[in-house]
Every structure is written in structure tokens, then in C-alpha cells.
Amino acid sequence: MVERVEIIGVGFEGFRPSITDLSTRELMYEAASKAYHDAGVDPRKDIGSFISCTEDLWEGWSIADEMVPDQLGGAGRPVCTVPADGIVGLGHAIMHIRSGVADVVAVEAHSKVADVLDKTAVENLALDPVFHRATGANSDVLAGLEMSSFMEETGTKRGELSQVVRSAKRKAMRNGRASYGATLELEEIDSSEPLALPLRRLDRPEFAEAAVVIVLASGSWAKRHRKDGVFIDGLSWRSATPWFEAGGVKTARYMQDSYRSVMKQSGLRDLSQFDVLEVDDSYSFKLVQHLMSMGVSKVGVMGMLKEGTALNPSGGSLGTGHLIEATGSHKVLECVLQVRGTAGGNQAKGVGRAFASSWRGNPTGAGAAIALSVGN
């Protein structure tokens, strides 16, 4: 029987548009210290390996993971760098545990993106140098092309995507970890600055900064040490190129395949069996595309956007801010807080199961999904 893996501690710091009072190292240290306190572990004694989801592309210098060991309490210990989204980092942690490398693993991901002076230049550097970068088409142009095709293929209207944005912004107003909550009318969203029509400014999340550390343990270790954790019932990810040349736009195959794998692992039927969903919304149309790829009809998606539903109670990336490699970690953090009943102003009622998904975009486009539960 495959041993279950549990999340026994979470810690975070930041969740602001710009953090000027903490360096990247200090931000990581604060999040790690809180996570270890939450888990009740000593990193120098209890944690067998450390994983950092760090990408040199965004850090601004090579071998940026050199900063990781001291800040996480892993100096002289096994420290692995995963240049990927936080959910993928959790997947590596599960492999460490199930392969016997470690009983307890800490996974760190962060965003210090305000330190990047020219974010567009960084994103353009990550584009395919032959087919994309050479044309001068940046990520927003490519997103606009995919968005246009998606809207045509699915019959999605501009007003429906504006509802995605409005819902996210309003939910974010109840979340103390969200930077971009607002009360917006559909007309304001419809007429926001065009980036690459039909893509507008409010269809894309603004950046934010934070660090998130998640501590995982084997079920047997947690039982021996009397830790009450949140169970990981399934986790999967699939790689793809960032934009629609990877396949048709109506279905995001990376998300469809990841979702199906997670459901098979967890033994569940569909998304209706989860009490909370934190689904990727790196662009407004991506939320609809990803939910449809997971078997939800477009009519169903629009119904899920109504106030009070359990879709993206955090406000998602559109309301919280885009956290680059920590985006998936943020979604898992929100799910853990929800099933614990400690999410704060955006707490949903009676949460026993939660689902999170993420999409990395540039430069690899990998999509990931995870199912979590408590008390079973």
C-alpha cells in the first residue's frame, strides 16, 4: 500500500504588491520560521530534505538557489532546486518521502518580482526564440490570440470574462492576503486598457510578492509524532508549451490530463465532490478554459462565479496577485487554511475537501493539480 503524505505545516510572509522592508532571503526566512512553528518541527533535526521552487530567470542571477539553505535551515543538508511552480515542488517532495529519501520535507516558493525592473523583457526572454521572440509578439499578444480563438470556439462573451474578473476582485476584498480587491462594474472591466484585444489590462493579474513554505511528512511519521495533517489524496502535473500551438484552445490538455490523474488517485468522481476550488486564473479566460477542461460546462462555470460559491474564495491570482513560482503554493496554502477553518474573512463553510490547480505559463507551460482532504 502506498503511504499517504500529509501537509503538517504552512507558513507565509508578504502578500503585498511590493515588499521593501524585507530582502528575498529575509522573506524566505520569515515564511520558513512560521511553517516550522506551525508544524512543530526543528529543521536541523526533523527535516530530511528541502526543496526550493526557484527560477534564475526571475531571480536575476545564476545559481540563485545558493541563497536557499541558510534561510530554510538546511545548511549542510540535502537541498534541491525545482525550477517550476510550487505544486510541482510538492510533487517532488512526495517522491522524496515515498522513495525513502526523507520522512519530512520542506518546500519553499517565493515571488520578489518587484525587484525585476523590466518584467516584460524577462517574459520575452523566455519565449521560443524562433517562432515567438523573433516576431516581437510578447506573452500578452500570444494570450490575446489564444483568448480570441477560445472565445470564438466556445461562444464565450466579453461580458462573461468580465464576470470572472469582477468575482475575483470582490472575493479578494474579504481576504487579508489579497492585494487587488476592488468593487468593479462590468463596464469598467469591459473598457479597461487594451493589451492585445480582446485581452484587456484587468484580464491579467497584477504581480505581488510573497513567500510560502509548506512542510510535508509521511503518514507513519505524522502518526508517530501525533501530528494532525492535511492529506494529499492526489497530485499530478503535465508539461506543455505555453501557448495554443500545443493543441486546441477549447481544451487545455495539460490541465485535463493532470485533473484526470488526480481524480484517479483520489478515487473521486468530479469537482462537485470538493468543498473549495482554487483554480488557476493567470488570465480571465484561463479560469474558464481550465474548468471546462476539467469537465465543467460553460454554463456551469458562470454559475460557479456567483457570490458565495466556493470557487477561488481567495480571489485567485486576479485578486491576490500573480506570485510567479509561488502561485501554486499560494493556492495550496489557501486550501490548507480552508480545510483547517483558519482562512479568515474568506473562510467557506464546512470544508473537508479542497482542490487546487496552477498553470506556469512562461517558459514551460506546465499545468498541475492537487486534491487535499482532512479527517478521513
Taking all residues of the chain, what is their mean pLDDT, rounded to a whole number? 93
Q: What is the predicted pLDDT for the residue at 247?
A: 61
pLDDT one-digit tens code per residue, 182-194: 999 999 999 999 9
CATH number, domain containing residue 65: 3.40.47.10
pLDDT one-digit tens code per residue, 122-150: 888 888 888 888 888 888 999 999 999 99
What is the arithmetic mean of pLDDT over 285-290?
A: 97
pLDDT one-digit tens code per residue, 149-171: 999 999 999 999 999 999 999 99
Nearest-angstrom CA–CA distance, 22 and 36: 19
Residue 53 lies in a domain: yes
pLDDT band at 1 (very low <50, low <70, confident <90, very high): low
Residue 182 lies in a domain: no
Which residue has cell 525592473? 117
Residue 89 lies in a domain: yes
DSSP string, 123-171: HHHTS-TTTTGGGT--HHHHHHHHHHHHHHHHT--HHHHHHHHHHHHHH
| 200, 163 contact by CB (below 8 A) | no
Residue 107 lies in a domain: yes
pLDDT band at 246 (very low <50, low <70, confident <90, very high): low
Q: Which three cell numbers stand for residue 88?
A: 510541482
Q: Which of 357, 316, 360, 71 is nearest to 177 (CA)?
A: 316
Residue 282 lies in a domain: no
Provide φ and ψ at 222, rounded to 5°.
-60, -40
Task: Give the domain range for residue 96.
Answer: 5-117+207-224
pLDDT band at 64 (very low <50, low <70, confident <90, very high): confident
Nearest-angstrom CA–CA distance, 40 and 33: 10
Residue 328 lies in a domain: no
DSSP string, 46-109: T--EEEEE--HHHHSSTTGGGGHHHHHT-TTS-EEE--S-HHHHHHHHHHHHHTTS-SEEEEEE
Residue 35 lies in a domain: yes
Nearest-angstrom CA–CA distance, 357 and 279: 5
Q: What is the predicted pLDDT for the residue at 251?
A: 92
Residue 127 lies in a domain: no
Q: What is the predicted pLDDT for the residue at 302?
A: 93
C-alpha pair distances (Å), 312 with each of 6, 125, 213, 266, 305:
22, 31, 20, 21, 9
Which residue has cell 505559463? 361
Give how far the C-alpha of residue 270 lies from the chain's centroid of Cα atoms, to the nearest Å. 20
